[in-house]
Structure 1
Amino acid sequence: MTRPHSHSLSQLNKVLPVPISLEDRTPDSSHFLENSHITDVLVGDYHIISGDGGRPYIVWVIRIIINGSTHNSICIYKRYTDIERFRQMLVKQHKDVDIPDLPVKDSMSLQRMMWSSNWLETRRKGLQWFMTNVLLNPKLQHSNVVTEFVLG
């Protein structure tokens, strides 16, 4: 038994598609850490970048674990000066919290880095100490300064 083609086409025209609505589910930077919390911070690798005029600088890879899941982490890349500015903002906005010091800033040259990998490891450990003490501090985790540093 065959149906006329026009009859089946008219039946299809009666079925309307379900409307699709799109929602933006990307985290709003002002509320990103509101329902989440940082559970671990790892300052790991570094990259040597050729700066303007050929003067190299280091960018540190900082992995921030959210809610205890390695699948829910953020990797950020920051220079020492970025971390210095971050600390200055924390000190300015959170006078009631004891913000730890950064490792001492001393002169860096490509020649020095090649001579001493110990210098880089000492710097990495100091940054690890600072980032852990700041980002795991419950008083600071939901600070707009922390959110801007992590997501900015």
Structure 2
Amino acid sequence: MPSAPGETFALTEEPDLIVWRMIGHVSGDDIRRLFDVQQRFCEGWPHAFVLVDVRRAEHFTPEARRIAAEGPAGGAVVLPIRANAVVGASFHIRVLGTLVSRAAALLNPTNTAPLRFFETEPEARAWLAERSREINARR
């Protein structure tokens, strides 16, 4: 839940979805809070998926980008994230997201997941649902 109106926040949806809503200027503390929600949700689950809504994001601080690339607890925590879908990213945010994703893969090779960009949330949710069906079919 958001801590105050208009701030970046994360929410979870059973059985396996974490939704990050990034709003305005996104700070390192914002990313830490998002990872905290994600980490608590993932405890005891074999996998989860992340939908990142950046339609209302205006700016990511250098600290936010660094923390996002490092992952939770500076990479010390490995989460069972199997895919990331980003909604509403501008060209600039797509480039930034791709760079952060590549940096994360280099910093934490065991904690990487595919990243895809979508124009709409229903498209992103459909792709994540398909990933979930594929993973559950293999279990």
TM-score range, shorter chain: under 0.3
Structure (1 or 2) with the greater strand fraction: 2
Higher-Rg structure is: 1
- Higher helix proportion: 2
TM-score normalized by the length of structure 1: 0.21
